[in-house]
Amino acid sequence: MKKIALVVSAASALTFSAGALAAGNIEAGKVAAAKFNCASCHGANYNEAIDPSYPKLAGQHKDYLVQALKSYQRGAVGTSGRSNAIMEAQAKALSNADIENISAYLASLKGSLVLKK
């Protein structure tokens, strides 16, 4: 009986750890966003891009940011890829943890996006 309880406890801990990783780490995302120089195009506060055609990232939905970065990693392949020479190169250098963390960080920022919930 004790072995079963131990196995259930270990499985719960692993599930929690995987969920925590999927949630992203805001502080690690701040460091990664600086490391990959996201602000050079999207603005120092991620709310005022250097070009009006570049998206505002501050306050954007985390799930959207994750999907967008993974789509840039795929490039123009298939129907779920995105093609942009700059973003493809940037996204391909990111690990899955970088994507989760950067997305969590950007979603945590106050943005000027109009969001309806």
What's the pLDDT score for residue 66?
Answer: 97
Question: What does pTM read for this prediction?
Answer: 0.76
pLDDT higher than 80, residue 5:
no
Domains defined along the chain, listed by start = 25-108 (1.10.760.10)
Tokens representing residue 52 in the block? 């009006």
CB neighbours of residue 52 within 10 Å: 8
Lowest average pLDDT, out of 1-5, 13-17, 44-48, 108-112, goes to 13-17
Residue 100 has pLDDT above 60, yes or no: yes
DSSP assignment string, 36-85: TTTHHHH-TTSSS-SSTTSPP-TT--HHHHHHHHHHHHHTTSSSS----H
**Own/partner long-range contacts of 37-40 (Cβ < 8 Å, ≥24 apart):** 38/90, 38/102
Q: What is the 3-state secondary structure (H, E, C) of 63-75?
A: HHHHHHHHHHHHC
Please answer whether residues 27 and 33 qualify as being in contact, where contact means their C-beta atoms are separated by less than 8 angstroms: no
* pLDDT (tens digit per residue) in 70-88: 999 998 876 778 888 899 9
| pLDDT for residue 9 | 54
Q: What is the pLDDT of residues 15-53, one digit of tens each?
A: 444 444 468 999 999 999 999 999 999 999 999 999 999
